[in-house]
Structure 1
Amino acid sequence: MTTADPISPVGNDSRELFARVQRLGLFGLLASWSEIASEPWLERLVTLEEHERKRRSLERRLKSARIGAFKPMADFDWAWPKRIDREALDDLFSLRFVEEGINAVLLGPNGVGKTMILRNLAHQATLRGHTVHFTTASGMLAELAAQESSAALSRRLRRYCQPKLLCVDEVGYLSYNSRYADLLFEVVTRRYDEPRSILLSTNKPFAEWSQVFPHAACVVTLIDRLVHRAEIVDIEADSYRLKEAKERAAKRAATRVTRRRAAG
């Protein structure tokens, strides 16, 4: 487009607004630019359109991510774990690992907050504009294994390979046959080659993954590709869920004692 073109913007402010209209693809406005460029309502109209598209985009990404309900990190009890690298977790929440296409692994026993952290990271990545998909290991592998044709499997694999961030929760809670191991290997390999990030939680050290996928020949290579470019956060703690259950039981017992005393 030359400066002689009747719809060319004039002035820095007009050029910026013109570029915004181009990005939005508002071709009716572009076609009439020479007539409407100086209208006082134009920038407000463009701003409203930008905000609405961002809102709808976020709504679509949140629905597609399937994160589910979760407690915010403000509720996380940092004093409870015996060992946790808070700086490493803070770094994960910067989401640099997603932008760099590297993986992150949360390792620790049951009930120490791995899923809570995973869901919060998935939510923050979605808010930041990334495409995200959250799943449990058992849910993903069962869905992939249920596909009856190579075409159907290929379509399902795209669901887990296309998002910028794939969050896989609860690896190690169940054991799987070689077919399931091969499917996880396929997902990890495809994302490794892109590269696209995997955020994964497990209660099993990698040395014990042979128990999760017994008789699977691909386990060593699977782990190698998963951790080659990965941040690993090891959480050492007793079960926080068990702690909360004991506290609730103690509170109920105290309430019953108070009622008995009041009745007596």
Structure 2
Amino acid sequence: MTVPNPQNTEALRARARALRMNGLLEHWPEVEGADWIAPLLQWEEEERAHRSLQRRIRDARLGHFKGLADFEWAWPKRIDRAAVEDLMSLTFLADAANVVFIGPNGVGKSTLAKNVASQALVAGRSVLFRSASEMLGELASLDSDSALRRRLHHYAAPDVLLIDEVGYLSYTNRHADLLFELISRRYEARSTIVTTNKAFADWSEVFPNAACVVSLVDRLVHRAEVISIDGESYRLKEARERTEARARQRGVKKSFTRKEDET
């Protein structure tokens, strides 16, 4: 009979405790040293990790997006590819640093932000995606302090909060105050990713007359990675290509029809 390795046995037992497999632990003296224990624990760990990932993906609500491998880096006129790829290492999460993608419409800000957020999900982090209008509209609609506190806690809790499309609409002072409160709660505690089509100097147009704009930007960009992207809209490029392809198809069809008529 093989004598169990005490260190290995204790490591297996610790894994069982972490999994809260109380039935197995209760009968540990009877099964200690059995060669099926290690595979059993591995299967349970892998299954729980899979279920956890699926749950976090569902809760994150990232939606459909193009993978980084399919991103056309040559299309933007200016983009720091090395900086974006470095974000995929998730080192910024260790410092609870923020990430801001700035650029005009259609240059891939949301796509890149979602790829970083997805990488965080795979690494076991909690993620939440919201458009700025959706989130701020929801918060501003709450008419009780207790409901507002609970919802602010909901948005402050994830390891990564992705706020999309700041700058596409203008907001009231109340919206600005709510965003400032949320950024302040997450400041130096958890990472926030923001996409915006406005330079920080123009955020006063997004939140007209709001006194907290300077402080809001200051806390958002402190130790943040700011990725600026310049170029034409990729969506417009795709629309032009589709239009040109349809025109070519119509030309071919028209030419074919003319030849048939001639015969």
Q: Same fold (TM over 0.5)?
A: yes
Looking at structure 2, the residues matched to 55 and 93 of structure 1 have their Cα atoms a distance apart, in angstroms, of 21
Judge which range, 43-52 or 127-136, deviates more: 43-52
Asked whether 1:74 is paired with 2:69, we answer: yes
Hey, what does 1:201 align to over in structure 2?
Answer: 195
2:18 to 20, 23, 27: 23
Hey, what does 2:48 align to over in structure 1?
Answer: 53
Q: Which letter maps to 1:245?
A: A
2:96 to 97, 101, 110: 101
Q: Could you tell me which runs of 5 or more consecutive residues in structure 2 were left unpaired when the two chains were aligned.
A: 259-263
1:250 to 233, 244, 249: 244
What secondary structure does 1:148 align onto?
coil
Looking at structure 1, the residues matched to 34 and 189 of structure 2 have their Cα atoms a distance apart, in angstroms, of 46
Q: Which letter maps to 1:242?
A: L
1:173 to 154, 162, 168: 168
Q: Which letter maps to 1:205?
A: A
Q: Could you tell me which runs of 5 or more consecutive residues in structure 1 were left unpaired when the two chains were aligned.
A: 1-8
Hey, what does 1:34 align to over in structure 2?
Answer: 29
2:120 to 122, 125, 136: 125
Hey, what does 2:215 align to over in structure 1?
Answer: 221
Looking at structure 2, the residues matched to 36 and 237 of structure 1 have their Cα atoms a distance apart, in angstroms, of 64
- 1:10 positional shift: 5.0
Looking at structure 1, the residues matched to 104 and 233 of structure 2 have their Cα atoms a distance apart, in angstroms, of 7
Hey, what does 2:105 align to over in structure 1?
Answer: 110
Hey, what does 1:164 align to over in structure 2?
Answer: 159
Looking at structure 2, the residues matched to 189 and 164 of structure 1 have their Cα atoms a distance apart, in angstroms, of 15
Hey, what does 1:186 align to over in structure 2?
Answer: 181
Looking at structure 2, the residues matched to 103 and 145 of structure 1 have their Cα atoms a distance apart, in angstroms, of 24
RMSD over aligned CA atoms reads: 1.1
Q: Which letter maps to 1:27?
A: N
What secondary structure does 1:20 align onto?
helix
Looking at structure 1, the residues matched to 199 and 47 of structure 2 have their Cα atoms a distance apart, in angstroms, of 45
Hey, what does 1:5 align to over in structure 2?
Answer: none
What secondary structure does 1:199 align onto?
strand
Q: Which letter maps to 1:101?
A: A
Looking at structure 2, the residues matched to 166 and 52 of structure 1 have their Cα atoms a distance apart, in angstroms, of 26
Q: Which letter maps to 1:122?
A: A
Asked whether 1:240 is paired with 2:240, we answer: no
TM-score, structure 1 normalization: 0.94
Hey, what does 2:205 align to over in structure 1?
Answer: 211
Q: Which letter maps to 1:199?
A: I
